[in-house]
Amino acid sequence: MKYLFGFIVGTLFGAALCLAGLYHNPFADARGAAAIAISDQLLGEFSFPAVAAESIAFTNDGESTPAPHPAGIAELWEPAISRTRVLVTVMTERGEPAGIGVKFSSDSEATRLLRSEALVDSAWHVYLPGRGTFFVDQTENLWGYLRDVVIPARWSSADSWRGTWFGIVTAGPNALRTARLVGGSGRFADLDAEAVETWNARAYSTQQGPVAMQGSLMIALPGPPPVGLSQ
Amino acid sequence: MVKSFYFGIVFGIAATVAALWFVRVVDQHREPSIVTVEPNGGNREVFHVNLPEDRILARSPDGATLLPESLAWPAAPVLAGVQAELYKLRDANGVVVGVASRISGPGDATGSVLEWALHLPARGTVYATLRPGSTADGYRDGALRAGTREFARLRGTVTERFESAGDDGGRIELTTALVAMGEPE
């Protein structure tokens, strides 16, 4: 009996050891920043509030945090879309509203926690009146955000987290861990470029989700920027 | 007992690694794709939106229509003429398979805009640009501008057709006719 007891305790200890090693994995952030973050070919940088209550609209399955916004918006409860979130927000450039962005995010089946990957398949549909439209195909890795913000908030006795967390969430699909941007109309028509999304979190609550968080979408050309694209 | 404890540690680590590797954390619900093969080798798929029940968000260009009613549209002048709509998207069997955004804007220096983004979580996203004006039989024609995952290597056409059923009701039909790039059309 004592051998069985020792084996069970050892198994639990081994599992805990493995999970602790995974959580504190020093190689998880060692993949480097997306090349676009230091690019000198930036076409624009668009900021948006990543807090549901500060957006035009946000919806999910109605049971997850953050809660859908505004009141009365339809929830995505159907099985095929229950792991999807939609954010409609104002895209701001240099502090001025520049257009509207719709972001679809769905949990990715490629998620592998063993590789420190909590992946989300997302797509941006952006309209900048007077300038044009574009679409961004993106794979996000939220592992760093979950590890540094969400999990500490759940462990906190106050059920919240405060601090400063900045990270590039874009992890693909391009080889250099950038998102693929495709122009739709106007000045962006026929444009093929790259993008990265960054988050700057300052407060998180387990009840409300992000309380103070700003997002940013940077777009850049692989080559020299054409005249007239940047404002 | 110490040996069984150490053996337990090794077993616990191995079992945890195996579980994390083989057990899927995310398993998206899938509906069978209802695809018709075109004579030229492409695939035709028909999606639709039932109005008003599939409407998630709507804002008319003049701002007179807002849904949900509590929606607070930003007062920024640059967004004044924007028409933004969000819908649940159904397949030919009437099952919800995705979410779609429809964005349109007035004519200006860059021309009028009418676009759809169809997000199907288990399959990928379709980004289509359409001609704002409709044909005599009520269709708006457009093209697939980009796709992700299952739609990444496809090209073809996307058409929109609105069938009114009076008042606020109706149906928006979206038909994609796509062919894999590099294959004979």
Closest residue of chain B to A179, computed from CA coordinates: B148
With beta carbons under 8 A apart, name residues in chain A contacting B26: 83, 107-109, 111
**Cα within 13 Å of Cα(B151), Cβ side:** 30
| Boundaries of domain holding B97 | 35-180
Average pLDDT value for chain A: 87
CB pair distance less than 8 Å for B121 and A4: no
Q: Buried b vs exposed e over B46-83: b needs ≥16 C-beta within 10 Å? A: bbbbbbeebbbbbbeeeeeeebbeebebeebebbebbb
User: Cis omega (within 30 of 0) on the bond before B32?
Assistant: no
Amino acid type, A68? P
Name the stretches of chain A with pLDDT < 70.
29-40, 222-231
Q: Residue B151 domain-assigned? A: yes
What is the block-wise mean pLDDT of chain B (185 residues), using blocks of 10 residues?
84 86 84 84 90 90 83 88 92 94 77 89 93 80 92 91 82 91 57
Longest dimension (CA), chain A: 78
Residue A15: the pLDDT is 85
CB pair distance less than 8 Å for B119 and A104: yes
Q: How far is CA A209 from the centre of its chain?
A: 13
| Interface check A88 vs B, CB under 8 A | yes
A2, A4, A7, A84, best to mutate vs chain B, most B CBs in 10 Å: A7
Q: Residue B30 domain-assigned? A: no
Residue A32: the pLDDT is 54
Residue-wise pLDDT tens digits, A159-218: 899 999 999 999 989 888 889 999 998 888 888 999 999 999 999 999 999 999 999 999
pTM: 0.90
The two tokens of residue B97 are 């398979």
Q: What's the structural domain count of chain B? A: 1
- Supply the CATH number for residue B61's domain: 2.40.480.10
Which of the 8 DSSP states describes residue A54? G
Residue A224: the pLDDT is 52
Residue A38: the pLDDT is 53
Cα gap A15→A12, rounded to integer Å: 5
Q: Residue B14 domain-assigned? A: no
Residue A231: the pLDDT is 46
Of B5, B127, B145, the CB nearest to A6: B5
Contact A130, B78 (CB under 8 A): yes
Q: Residue B134 domain-assigned? A: yes
Q: Residue B19 domain-assigned? A: no
Closest residue of chain A to B148, computed from CA coordinates: A137
For B156, other C-beta atoms within 10 Å of its C-beta total: 22
Exposed (0-12), middle (13-18) or buried (19+): which is B39, by Cβ within 10 Å? exposed
For A129, other C-beta atoms within 10 Å of its C-beta total: 24
With beta carbons under 8 A apart, name residues in chain B contacting A98: 78
Q: Residue B113 domain-assigned? A: yes
Q: Residue B15 domain-assigned? A: no
With beta carbons under 8 A apart, name residues in chain A contacting B78: 97-99, 129-130
